[in-house]
Structure 1
């Protein structure tokens, strides 16, 4: 409700109008900028879409699968790709959280590459990725 609508409106009756039948006159309704949102706002707990796009993920998964299976091409279910995507996102988010804690420990708020390297070293991920 906008501030314009908060004041009570006194109806105009037959006593003050030249028309003989009693009725209530209302001003025409109009929309003013800033009265309300144009779209419903989202609650903070709403589910957000996936961070990684699934389209480029499928060819990469297929390429890595071909490298490890010596040329045998396997089919992937959509649910398997979604599960792989969720796991990859969770891994990256957790790694970035640890790296940010490393930057806070160094009394900085900017995330540097050395923070990511330290987080990977503390997690024991030096050899792999």
Structure 2
């Protein structure tokens, strides 16, 4: 609502079209709320990757989830022996998953050494192919 002081000074300080006041004492008192949007943090190239490497080196848990890995094992079993109905113990699936993840980690380590030997920092498929060829997997 507008308050009229005199005939020469009729100004509305309180509101205009339902919005918060921009000027005057009420605006200073904090009636205007400025929502800050947090900007996405930008790291220098490689910083986030190094942080993830350190994090994964500290953990001992499995990296592949159990249910998808179990489905993969059952799918491969059905391809190898289509008419048979194999059942797996939980410990057997766990042992298979441990062995598979250990193999993959070792493969990546050796492949990255091949990339470094070729004076590159980017891992390429040919590095993995070389490791598989040399180690007779």
Q: TM-score, normalised by structure 1?
A: 0.57
Per-residue deviation, 1:69: 2.6
Contact conserved, 1:99 with 1:115, CA < 8 A, in 2?
yes
User: How do 1:1-129 and structure 2 match up within 5 A?
Assistant: 47-125=59-137
Structure 2's unaligned 5+ residue stretches are 1-55
Change (3 A) 1:49 1:64: same
Per-residue deviation, 1:73: 0.8
Bigger relative contact order (CA 8 A; separation at least 6): 1
Q: TM-score, normalised by structure 2?
A: 0.54
Structure number, greater radius of gyration: 2
In 2: Cα distance, 1:117 partner to 1:48 partner: 27
Change (3 A) 1:45 1:68: closer
Q: CA RMSD in A?
A: 2.2
Equivalent residues, number: 83
